[in-house]
Structure 1
Amino acid sequence: MIEIPSKRILTWDVVAVLSYAAAVVPLQWIELLSPIRIALLAPVLLFLPGFTLSTVLFPGRPVGERSTATNGISRLGTVERAALAVGLSVGLLPLFAFVFDLVLGQVVGPIIVATAVFSAGMALLGGYRRSRVPEPDRFEIPIERWFEESITSVRENSTGAAVVNVALAGSIVLAVGAVGIAFAVPQEGATFTDFAVGTQQGGEFVTDGYPEDLAVGEAAETAVLIENSEDKLTEYHVVARFERVEDGTVTAIQSAGGFTVTVDPGETVIRSHSAVRSITGDDVRLRFFLYRDEPPTDPGPETAYRAVHVWVDVE
């Protein structure tokens, strides 16, 4: 007798993956305490992408778990599936980084969003693949059976064996969590902002081409680049000024304006800036200071987050 498989795609585990993926996407931009962030994000980075992909590749129940003959169905044991899920997940992260580099022009990207969307898509595709398999042969997560077996094991085995089992499970969780810290938690010193001054030529930012000889009253046309790798939305304040330098000492300062810009995490902004100045001399530089907070009334290199400059001779 041929068994007609159920067409239900949204099984409980598929719904759980979709719900979890939707819940963690906002965490790409929300800061949380490190332990909470690890607990919430480690699964979506180190397990779900590989697990959901495994349901697409291997939709069948392992042989021996109430399954019938192979019938050409791709099968994978529970332990092998778990190991494959972690291995595939870790292997997919560099692939996402490569895609970011091709599409966004940078390796850093919305990794949480990418893994969550990928996991959700693979979960749906895996649900469809499993819906085409007869129910006795269909892969499912046997949580009820695991719970019953764990209770039986504790009752029938010695206390020492139970402790060993708990310790083994705990060590696996700790190992996965340790690997996840590098991805789930922004490490101290890992955040930064790139700040550069140059010009735009043919729509591209270059760190040369700015005016080196500037007549009094002539505008210096420059381009300022800000790349936000702070892992959060940041409001930047840029202050510019002309400085006359004699024997390594600044002897004259005049303001050259500035601007404020808000940059999304992982984004790069290039802003044109025009500065007209009347300071004369051979050793004059146009200096830019970057602040992540409101700049002080007397900005300078001592208080700035970043500082860059170009030399201009003002005749």
Structure 2
Amino acid sequence: MVGWSSSLLRVADLVAVILLTMLAIAATFVSESLLRTVVTIPFLFFAPGYSVVVAMFPHRRSSLDGERLFGSEALLLGIATSIGLAIIVGVNLEYTVWDIAAVPVMVALSSIALLSATVAMYRRLSPLNETSPTTFGGSSDRAKTPNIGDSIQLSSVIVAVSVLVAVLSVGVVALDPPRGERYTEFGLLTEAENGTLVADNYPSEISAGDQETLYFTVTNREMQTKQYTVVITLVATNEDGDAIQRARLDSFRNEVAAEETWRQEHTVEPLLSGERLRLTYLLYDGTIPEQPTAQNSYRELHVWLDVS
């Protein structure tokens, strides 16, 4: 029982880091609230860096063996390293499919904190490290006096490395800036009398059995190749604009590379008649639901038609 209590005390700081990390992860998935701010800010500025520092230098001084408590250098190095890690994660997320948002950032930093804390626990409790000459903040040999100058020098080196890595990460972005927000442009065009395509002069009336030629465009700004599908429907609505009848006119599918535009010519032949019919273009990124609607689409365009 004494051995278990002693072991728990030796890793109490790491247990606290793990608990803070788990609480921060849970708070991240909660809507904006005071709890989310109160928990995540201490986590971001402390937990990941502290875990990494202790994983590198696992020994802590404890009153159990008569030595002074773990020095304040751990706190300072933890903060410095956490700031560096946050910058590195943010920079690298720009080059992935994930946006710089709360969830991706927290998942990345939480993974670092949990993995590092686990390694630190193992190293601190490992019998092989009991007599290790490398301790954070001084020597583990009780017969020797801790060299404070070496401790300060080591702390300075780690802080300097953290700052250097952060600066280099920012420099990479400055030299190769990200392309900005990821999105998809979706447009509908008609052909003017001079043959140019314009986003104007959409048909408002058409007779049953007649056809209209239109063009839709899809421009991929998602920074990666996408498989798009466009579904064209004609929807009869009531006075409130709610759908009461749907007719699927056509669908198109195409793979579009990043920064490329897909332009598709097509003909519209109404399958319904009436006033205030909604000619709707539904854009999907990936799979198509069984019942395509404006609510479950990625992008939506529509024009109003009277079909006689």
Looking at CA atoms only, which structure, 1 or 2, has the larger radius of gyration?
2
Which TM-score bucket, shorter chain as reference?
0.3 to 0.5
Larger relative contact order (Cα-Cα within 8 Å, sequence gap ≥ 6): 1
Q: Give the TM-score taking structure 2 as reference length.
A: 0.46
Q: Give the TM-score taking structure 1 as reference length.
A: 0.46
